[in-house]
Amino acid sequence: MENSPVRYAAEMKEGSTESPGKSRIGLCLDCHHVRRIESAKGSTFYRCAVSESDPKFAKYPRLPVLVCSGFKPKA
């Protein structure tokens, strides 16, 4: 994974002041490239649109994403 453009959390910190969504999802939560998908069973998935043009990016990144070279803030 050394050359991967995406990095994940090795562990979650207790007592974090971040919102639960931010600590669980990471950068994808606020990224222009994310596509939020809700299943019929009520599950939520976060698909990375960059993966459509760049195979180095996972279609469904393992969350939370902490560092990502493709991150672009939502407008």
Q: Where are the alpha helices (DSSP H) in 1-75?
A: 20-25
Nearer residue to ligand SF4 within complex by CB, 48 or 55: 48
Nearer residue to ligand SF4 within complex by CB, 16 or 56: 56
Min separation Cβ 36 and ligand SF4, Å: 10
Min separation Cβ 21 and ligand SF4, Å: 14
Q: Could you write out the DSSP letters of every residue in 1-17?
A: -TT-SEEE-SSPPTT--
Whole-angstrom Cα distance, residue 19 to residue 43?
Answer: 19
Min separation Cβ 24 and ligand SF4, Å: 13
